[in-house]
Every structure is written in C-alpha cells, then in structure tokens.
Structure 1
Amino acid sequence: MRDVIFPNKGQASYEKFGYSAAVKSGGFLFVSGQVGTDEVGAPIRMPSEQFDVAFANLGEVLNAAGCGFDDIVDVTSFHVNMYEYFDDFAAAKQKVFPKAPFPNWTAVGVVNLALPDLFLEIKAIARLQQV
C-alpha cells in the first residue's frame, strides 16, 4: 500500500511532470527530489538562496506527512557545478542539520538537472512517526 503526499504550497512541477512529492510506504516516507524553485516553478537565481529554498521545499513535504528533518534517515543530493557551490550548499545544509546525529548522505555531481539554472536537487527517505 502507498499513500501520496503533497505539501500545502504546491510546486508547479508535480502536475506538469506527473509525479508525487512523496509516497508513504512500509513505515517510511520517500520524498521525490526537491529543488530551489518558486511557486510557479522558476529556479531561484542565487545559488545560496536556491539551496535554502530547496531545503525549505523539502521541509514542506516532510511537514505535510507529519515528519521533520530529524526523521530523515537517508539523503541523496545531486549537484551541478558541485565544487563551485559546495560551500554555499554546506551552509544551507548546516541550517537544517546543525548537529549530530546526521542522516547518511550521498552527494553526486551531475552535468545538469531537469531545468536550466538548477544547481541542486535533494531526495530523502524519512521514517514515519508511529501513531
């Protein structure tokens, strides 16, 4: 069984590209890649701001499922120009994961993402709260 999750504030890309923000299954939440776009789906121009928005969008999906950043157990991040923007990414990451224990993490450098001018996509798995 699987239940789909969408945040209260929608990102235009869910409907446009035909995917769910997240799926609940087997006690876990599988979150689709979150990016730093505004409400109409346009990439935020400044990389540091784009990274903050990507994490904020991830937070919106987690909240819609009754989870938070502390529930994340696995993260994969995809980076365009990884070395050029990694310090900005690390600063944004530090805001949402300020102290241990940290989730496990895989960072992957890529040539590009789904839209031009995107520098980061964050995919995560979180454990669901027991009710």
Structure 2
Amino acid sequence: MRQAAPTRDAIVPPGRQALYERHRYSAAIRSGDLLFVSGQVGSREDGSPEPDFEAQVALAFTRLSAVLAAAGCTFDDVVDVTTFHTDPAAQFDAVMRVRDGVIGAAPYPNWTAVGVTWLAGFDFEIKAIARIPAAA
C-alpha cells in the first residue's frame, strides 16, 4: 500500500515574496523534516547582481541564511550544497574565503561545485538541502 506523501510547504524569507511570485518558484520547500532550498544568488534589493564577485558570493550566502532561518534552520543543519560558478578556477579562492567564514566546523556538508556558462547575469549561485531540527 502506498503511503501519503509528506505535505509540501513553501518557505519564503521576509521581504522577498514579490521576487518569488514574479519568477513563480519557492525560496524553499519543506517536506517532512527536510528543507530543499532553491538556488540563491547575490542580488541587491532591486534584484540586480552585486557587481563585486566576492561581495556577490557573500550576499548569496546571506540570502541562503535568510531562507534557512525562515524555516528554523542554520548552516549547522545543512547536509548538502550545490554551487554554480561561471569561472570556477578564477573564482575558487574568493568562494572559499566566504564559505570558510559561514560554514561551521567539521563535519562539513556534502558539496558539489558545477561550472556553468549562464546564471542570468550572476556569477555564483548556491542551493542546499537541510534537515529541519525537531521542535524543542
């Protein structure tokens, strides 16, 4: 007998609802005790890319942190990360500087980095899967 699928709940951080409605996707989906976060980019408040690459990466991590927080998570709850880079070899050091300041101590989450040719004007995108902590 097939079991009913867990409910799929959309998670949107405060102040970003219009962006997600305009582009017709959710910032994250909570399914059971897992949180699937859509790719986050280093967009300024008007939605345009932050021009400085390292600042763009930091802003993408800030956007990811806000989505995690809206679901009651932190980076400690992240189990899987995928990042997309327009020039991985040239960008690696800057990404690692930002990452090291955000991701906690070992054990680290799984991480897959993918080189791409287009990110809608951005040079970096990060998506994640987190386990939602049990309510205390």
Q: Could you state the TM-score of these two structures normalised by the residue count of structure 2?
A: 0.91
- Mapped to 2, the partners of 1:59 and 1:97 lie a distance apart of 11
- Mapped to 2, the partners of 1:124 and 1:22 lie a distance apart of 9
Range that drifts further, 14-23 or 60-69: 14-23
- Mapped to 2, the partners of 1:65 and 1:41 lie a distance apart of 22
- Specify the SS of the correspondent of 1:108: strand
* CA RMSD after TM alignment: 1.2
- In structure 1, the partner of 2:131 is 127
Larger radius of gyration: 2
**Runs of 4 or more off by more than 3 Å in structure 1?**
none
Contact 2:76 2:104 in 1 (8 A): no
Where do 5+ consecutive residues of structure 2 fail to align? Answer: 1-6
Aligned residues: 129
- Mapped to 1, the partners of 2:25 and 2:49 lie a distance apart of 18
Task: Find the partner of 2:30 among 24, 35, 41.
Answer: 24
Superposition deviation, residue 112 in structure 1? 1.2
Inter-CA distance 24–98: structure 2 relative to 1 (3 Å threshold): closer
Q: Could you state the TM-score of these two structures normalised by the residue count of structure 1?
A: 0.94
